Amino acid sequence: MTLRPDEIVSGFEQEMQAFGDLVASLDAVQWATPSRCAGWTVADVAAHTIGSVADVVAGRVEGLGSPEATAREVAERFGRSPAELADELASARKQVGDLVVLFDDDAWSGPAPGGYGGTLAQGVEALFYDTWAHGDDIRAALGMPSETAAPGLRAAAHHLALVLSKQGWGPAVLALDGIEEVEIEAPADGAAGGAGNGRRITGDPMAFVLVASGRADPAVLGLDETVNVYR
């Protein structure tokens, strides 16, 4: 279900570059535009995304992704310009590159630090997904098209399948256009299957990602609110 480490590393590098380029291109009006992330402007979305990467390379990973950590990341960057945040991400991106070359196969398959409930590979994949997804939040706020050809869309499908598996939503299979089939596993504890009910989910991968991440109405895919991993 999780991408290979080499795919995660190369894809995450590409997404960080794309996110930094996007942020650097924004003007003051765009920076202050409300986003589909409730209560957040484009600047807030960028602050959280870049703050998460900066926290990881600084070793500040305890509680990463929690509401408290997210609020701190945004508050710490309040008032900074697009250029300043793009520069911060460029620095953090270089540090990510320096770190990942140190990880061997055992490290990638070992536990992620900071209390994340998964392997190191799954934790970095989650950060990869988050960077791509929040880039799409910014593009959506500004009327820009989604980057559906980007490697982050494939990472998003894999990451969301993993989360749904952990939440006991499976079994199900994602058979989305242009992406290899991804299994959403049945509950491992012998419990009855979840709301996925063994179904095969087909169609547009972007539509699935928006639905499963709570950004679109699940009815568009014939699903219900249980597919939203943030419910």
In the chain, domain spans = 5-141, 151-227
In the chain, what percentage of residues exceed pLDDT 90? 88
Is the pLDDT at 191 greater than 70? The verdict is no
pLDDT tens per residue, range 134-180: 999 999 999 999 999 889 999 999 999 999 999 999 999 999 999 99
State how far the Cα of 124 lies from the Cα of 120, in Å rounded to an integer: 6
Phi, psi (degrees; rounded to nearest 5) at 203? 115, -155
Mean pLDDT of 193-211: 93
State how far the Cα of 136 lies from the Cα of 36, in Å rounded to an integer: 10
Poorest-pLDDT segment among 39-48, 57-66, 101-110: 57-66
Asked whether the beta carbons of 12 and 127 are under 8 A apart, the reply is yes
Q: Does domain 151-227 have CATH number 3.40.1130?
A: no
Q: Does domain 5-141 have CATH number 3.50.30.50?
A: no
pLDDT tens per residue, range 81-109: 999 999 999 999 999 999 999 999 999 99
- Strand-pair partners of 125: none
Poorest-pLDDT segment among 45-54, 98-107, 128-137, 181-190: 181-190
Q: To which H or E segment does residue 208 belong? A: helix 205-212
From the number of C-beta atoms within 10 Å of its C-beta (0-12, 13-18, 19+), residue 33 rates as middle
Question: What is the reported pLDDT for 3?
Answer: 95
| Pairing assessment for the beta strands 172-176 and 182-184 based on DSSP bridges | antiparallel
φ/ψ bin of 65: left (φ > 0), alpha (ψ from -120 to 50), beta (otherwise): left
State how far the Cα of 96 lies from the Cα of 94, in Å rounded to an integer: 5
